[in-house]
Amino acid sequence: MTAGIYLHIPFCRSRCSYCDFATDVFRNAETVERYVAALCREIENFDQPANAVGSDLLTDTIYFGGGTPSLLTAKQVEKILVSLYSKFTMEPDFELTMEMNPATVSLDTLKDYKSLGVNRASFGVQTFDDTELKRLARGHDANDARETFRMLRKAGFENVSFDLIVGLPRQTFADWEKNLDEALSMRPEHLSLYLLEIHEGTPLADQIRRRRQPMPDEELAAVMYESMVEKIATSDYNQYEISNFALPGLESRHNSKYWRLEPVYAFTVSAHSFDGSQRYVNERDTARYIRLINEAGSAEMMREDINAASEFIFLGLRMTNGIGLADYEKRFALSLIRKYGCELETLFESGLVEIYADRLWLTRKGMLFSNEIFSVFV
């Protein structure tokens, strides 16, 4: 089974109000250099676990996430890739994605990324409304997003994904519809449209608690989601996962690995790896990560066996084509229908799941209650 590689770049120019990822405000180039050096050392120290799925270090996806990976120089990206290529064997047509934020790149930098093999850009638009962007502390405006997209096209990027957030505080249905219409008019190859989640410890959660921001309207967000799915269904985009839509053949190959429970080797701060049987996690603090790598060669903080049978179900059900019942039985020597028959019957009668031609999937209504459905299989 071919693995994926994930690399977390934690640096940002500012911290968004809703973000609970492991991030650090970019302060000086020296810290980034030390981080890149530690990352390369971690990769070079990596040995594939004996119980890993697959017999060699073959991979077909690399994903630079963040944070803001587009704050890296082309030389830093090249250094990381050289370390990866010395350890892993890449498939000829591998997908190399870099997350980018508006106003963090120049045309020359984008051309340099492209020349290094970056062939997919995941672009953090979030909203085209300047007022909403200020509330989110995004650090860019809508024109920055439009201009960065133009530069991506000029630099030769033919696979671009937009991230947009649904259900922001004070966001009206008309506001959301305007956002979606503009995104569709620009015609990126991929759209990731996420319902806003409020995470404890974030500035947004604090603002809501202090009543400086209203609690997002969950019922309105659900209406926005249903309208979004209906509108996109009339376009050329296919919904292939609860929050993800793509032009035919341009689905995210890397993210699909998570939903199919395939191996992903992750390096860097806060990295979550899965080797086919175990999940292991790195130190979350950037300074401690660098120190641990330099002193011990590893920053692993936790390792655990997973309930693969359960995760196969609730991750696979995120995808619109669901999971194959025969695939489940072949992989786990267990009948899903026999194990969860009563629960599935209740979900089916409630209009939340469908079963047909040996496949189980969520209905559109089921996607709105996905977390509740997934809890059945935990």
pLDDT per position as a tens digit, 188-233: 999 999 887 777 777 666 777 787 777 878 888 888 888 898 889 8
Can you give the pLDDT at residue 48? 66
- Whether the per-residue pLDDT at 16 is higher than 80: the answer is no
Can you give the pLDDT at residue 51? 55
Peptide bond into 65 cis (omega under 30): no
- Coil, helix or strand for 228? helix
Q: How many CB atoms lie within 10 A of CB 7?
A: 24
Res. 56 pLDDT band, cuts 50 70 90? low
Can you give the pLDDT at residue 274? 93
- Whether the per-residue pLDDT at 138 is higher than 90: the answer is no
Residue 370's nearest CA partner among 210, 236, 194 is 194
Both tokens assigned to 196: 């806003």
- Where b means 16+ CB within 10 Å and e means fewer, 215-253 reads ebbeeebbebbeebbeebeeeebbbbbbbbbbbeebbbb
- Coil, helix or strand for 178? helix
Whether the CB-CB separation of 293 and 42 falls below 8 Å is answered with yes
Residue 222's nearest CA partner among 371, 64, 13 is 371
Whether the CB-CB separation of 124 and 64 falls below 8 Å is answered with no
Whether the CB-CB separation of 155 and 118 falls below 8 Å is answered with no
Is domain 3-259 in CATH 3.40.50.1370, yes or no? Answer: no
Whether the CB-CB separation of 97 and 121 falls below 8 Å is answered with yes
Dihedral angle over CA of 110, 159, 83, 264, nearest 10: 140
**CATH topology for 308-377?**
Arc Repressor Mutant, subunit A (1.10.10)
Q: Beta 3-9 vs 264-267: how paired, if at all?
A: parallel
Give me the residue spans of the domains in the chain.
3-259, 308-377
Residue 102's nearest CA partner among 122, 119, 123, 133 is 123
Calculate the average pLDDT of the chain: 89
More confident call, 100 vs 209: 100
